[in-house]
Structure 1
């Protein structure tokens, strides 16, 4: 099963003064075609309302929407898949598969190459691996795995791996050269002054950048 796009935009409504729907609209305007609704701290009713709004935006742009954690919500609104948290067991992946539409994608968060065997055997479609680079948003997951960790994960089990954590336009293509199927980005889009321009920069870097990019990403600009 192919992935919707090489860039997965991860939402964080706390990272930006503008409304999340406006930020997602800008990302879509910039060419983004895959959105992961994260924001797990919303109450269920508010999260469903936001999910439905983002799904409408995604559909209008020909893009895909993945719902974080909640397979039941993804199934209820007809989203394109679910992304399950780190530590998810095979039975939870199987349970999500049972209630989602046949073409839905199931992703799982991983924090080391050793986790991929079980995730792949359980039938997930892809993983996000983090943190690849040092990042303030992933302080609790140990040291950065680096390109070597990404390379080891991408070479194992035939499961598409998205690089997450500290990925910037300066190292996106290095992730691709290391075997990543794509990149997942939160802060670099959610905190960008111009999310549409930032999206275009990430997409351009993935397609055309120098595959010998540095291990450490450039500093993010301050929030507007």
Structure 2
């Protein structure tokens, strides 16, 4: 699976943006709408709660054969046998994570400059997330990245590039010129009453 990952519509979870429903229902609806990869991001809960949530979401992603990535927590990824982890600039280095997880797991790294992206590639990352591309309320510590910088990163590394940060139906066209491999979204899918339709629209806009 690792060599055939489709990064085109990458869902990052955030229960705070849900509209009167639960994360499990919405993740399944998002996958039905075209989400190709799911990352569980939980910054403010304990290990047991994170583990329990991850176990339930993995049952859903396994059902649809969609890869599941865990944000930051290598221990949770190992405990549930997730497909991989996503690491920030202040998390464990990608090469150390690779030693722990082995060669078959997916490792992604958040980057905002070409230097960071090239370092991630050297350390064995499978893809980089680049952002924040646009203003976002779900991650207030992300550095702003220009479209030109995104293009520079895409041209300067050989691993897949996924844009993240405030991406919506309105601005997605601005990213097309960078020839990126995917978009990572939170609110643009989970912040809608009809998650499935929201995912379908974003997938169509990105692919066409």
Q: TM-score, normalised by structure 2?
A: 0.91
Contact 1:117–1:157 (8 Å) recurs in 2: yes
Contact 2:11–2:37 (8 Å) recurs in 1: yes
Residue deviations 1:185-208 (CA, integer Å, cap 9, x gap): 011112111110010011100111
Structure 2 match to 1:49: 52
Structure 1 match to 2:124: 123
- Which of 68, 72, 77 matches 1:74? 77
Deviation, 1:128, is: 0.6
User: 2:156 is paired with a residue of what secondary structure?
Assistant: coil
Contact 1:107–1:127 (8 Å) recurs in 2: yes
Give structure 2 stretches of 5+ with no counterpart.
none
Moved over 6 A (4+): none
Structure 2 match to 1:141: 142
The alignment of Structure 1 onto Structure 2 pairs a total of residues equal to 205
Deviation, 1:173, is: 4.3
Provide the alpha-carbon RMSD of the alignment. 1.7
Contact 2:7–2:183 (8 Å) recurs in 1: no
Deviation, 1:150, is: 0.8
Residue deviations 1:153-174 (CA, integer Å, cap 9, x gap): 1111213110001211233344
1:99-110 paired onto structure 2 within 5 Å: 99-110=100-111
Distance 2:53 2:142 in 1: 28
Q: TM-score, normalised by structure 1?
A: 0.85
Higher relative contact order (CA 8 A, sep 6+): 2
Distance 1:5 1:120 in 2: 16
- Find out whether 1:24 has 2:27 as its counterpart: yes
